[in-house]
Amino acid sequence: MPACVWKLLLLLYLVAVTVQGECVPKMIPKTESPVCVCNVLYCDTIAPVERVLSSKYVLYTTSKSGKRLQRDVQSFTNNITRSTIIELDIKKEYQTIIGWGGAITDSVGINIRNLSTETQKKLLKSYFSDEGLEYNLIRVPIGGTDFSIHNYTYDDGIEDAELAHFSLAKEDLEYKIPVLKLANTYSNNTLQLLGSSWYAPNWMQTHNNTKRGYIKRSMYQVWADYHIKFLKSYKEYGLGFWAITTGNEPVDSSSYVKWHAKPIGIWIASNLGPAIRNSEFSNIEILIMDDSRSSLPWFVDRAFSYKDAKKYIQGIAVHWYGDETFPPKLLDVTHNRHPDKFILYTEACVTKKQVGIHQGSWRFAESYARDILQNLNHWCTGWIDWNIALNMEGGPTFTHNEVHSPIFVNTTKDEFYKQPMYYILGHFSKFILQSSVRIEHKCTNKNLAVVALKRPDGGIVIVVLNKSNKKIPVTINVEKGKYINLNVMAKSIITIIYW
């Protein structure tokens, strides 16, 4: 074919997908599933969810073979034709959903701000707008993390118990704050920010061999005040926080601030709790733990055993690392002991150490889906992913801890690539609105993972993941005489919504 014909065909194709907002797929050699290419000219979109007639339901499908939140409107039928049955009990209610989101670290800010203005807009709209995933939560590091380009806190140098030298970093002013403001501009939600600290100034910490890395007893109040200073500084830039955690990974970490369970209870009851509640930020929620399931329930139990610690805490923050090893029963036990504290997942990613960095991985996308479905069925009220955009190597990271992200960016080319994981997250975030309530379901086939929820607008959302390599024919029993009959494709995830 002559080159001009090719070009014409390509142009027609691009016009066609542009009109529909569909994925421009790119199959990267040796990977499992296509990525969707976005740049200054084009990015795929997901239309806002629209109510349909009560005789109909909407089916969204994402598959390894390349479907990306593909929308089909179907009618209910009045007969049961499939062998696997999913039954709902909308009267039996469980937890209320807080929401979905990702983290805006220094590295994310650097990657995004290094794109052209129009490409930045396309990326942030992909996550926060009503034509994207509609995230409503953002985790914001208090100072540096391993996803920074150097190690810093807001008060490095000589001891400064008055925090007189506390100041935000270049990273806040040039990267995180501008990106947070843009996210706010494109969102139809009220974005809820969650702050977490990683590193403390050297002078606040112990340096005695095995005791290295803990906050010195004499610095407990200063470390609490440091958090207040952070909240004040962001407020000056017009950014209010919904919540903070008591610090990232106090149990597992080798280099972040470490805590034993009893002392963190003392710090919460004597310093952090009173400092927050007596400040202008008295309504901010405080989430304890911010670490893996493996520390449940003992870490929380022990911290709460100290006097008033429990009364200052509203939620329990959990990271997904090790979820394949430690059973979800630990979430149930934690919930049953502390039913008034919500459980929220606040970090997840696939690390390079495990597997290398891969574009277009279906396996990782599916592991996210499996984990979210499992957690939702065990009292989890939402999920916050780790970095929302990393460079093609999974960084930058000054500790060389490269990891995966639902969006990889190539700033040289001013382009970004939405991974299958991005669409998998959308199967939850775009449909399971804040204040949705999980309802009871039963499923007769163990190869399907299922969750069902009722939205505040009365809509019912059902998410089904086919974990097997076989097509599974399913009937969903909506009510007597009203059924959904479908085949859940192999290696696919579906979201069904109806009103």
Ligand X SMILES: *[C@@H]1O[C@H](CO)[C@@H](O)[C@H](O)[C@H]1NC(C)=O
Nearer to ligand X, 84 or 279 (CB): 84
**Stretch of 202-210, 299-307, 329-337, 449-457 contacting ligand X, by CB under 6 A:** 202-210
Of 371, 243, 250, 267, the residue nearest 315 (C-alpha):
243
For tokens 């192999």, what's the residue? 490
Binding track, positions 306-345, relative to ligand X; x by CB under 6 A: ----------------------------------------
Among 96, 410, 437, 477, binds ligand X (CB under 6 A): 410
Of 375, 478, 497, 476, the residue nearest 433 (C-alpha):
497
Q: Which residue is nearest to ligand X (CB)?
A: 490
- Cis ω before 48 (30° cut-off from 0): no
Nearer to ligand X, 114 or 314 (CB): 114
Binding track, positions 383-402, relative to ligand X; x by CB under 6 A: ---------x------x---
Residues in 440-469 that interact with ligand X by CB under 6 A: 466, 468-469
Residue 249 is among the residues annotated as catalytic for this protein: yes
- Name the β-bridge partners of 293: none
Whether residue 216 contacts residue 204, with contact meaning beta carbons closer than 8 Å, is answered with: yes
Of 117, 175, 168, the residue nearest 149 (C-alpha):
175
Among 65, 83, 116, 188, binds ligand X (CB under 6 A): 188
**Stretch of 12-20, 23-31, 308-316, 471-479 contacting ligand X, by CB under 6 A:** 471-479
CA 470 from centroid of its chain's CA atoms: 29
74 belongs to the binding site for ligand X (CB under 6 A): no
Of 315, 313, 387, 311, the residue nearest 347 (C-alpha):
387
Among 202, 221, 253, 270, binds ligand X (CB under 6 A): 202
491 belongs to the binding site for ligand X (CB under 6 A): yes
Mapping DSSP to helix (H, G, I), strand (E, B) and coil, where does residue 260 land? coil
CB of 280 to ligand X, least distance (A): 28
Amino acid at 342: F
Whether residue 195 contacts residue 245, with contact meaning beta carbons closer than 8 Å, is answered with: yes
What would the two tokens of residue 300 be? Answer: 């929380």
CA 13 from centroid of its chain's CA atoms: 33
471 belongs to the binding site for ligand X (CB under 6 A): yes
108 belongs to the binding site for ligand X (CB under 6 A): no
What would the two tokens of residue 198 be? Answer: 């990683």
81 belongs to the binding site for ligand X (CB under 6 A): yes
130 belongs to the binding site for ligand X (CB under 6 A): yes
Residue 402 is among the residues annotated as catalytic for this protein: no
> What angle do helix axes 177-186 and 117-128 make, rounded to 10 degrees?
60
Mapping DSSP to helix (H, G, I), strand (E, B) and coil, where does residue 375 land? helix
Nearer to ligand X, 269 or 472 (CB): 472
CB of 464 to ligand X, least distance (A): 8
Of 171, 249, 285, 415, the active-site residue reads 249
User: In angstroms, rounded to a whole number, what is the distance separating the alpha carbons of residues 166 and 229?
Assistant: 8
Point out the residues that are catalytic. Answer: 249, 347
- Name the residues that contact ligand X, by CB under 6 A: 48, 77-79, 81, 110, 114, 130, 151, 188, 199, 202, 205, 208, 211, 213, 255, 392, 399, 410-413, 466, 468-474, 487-491
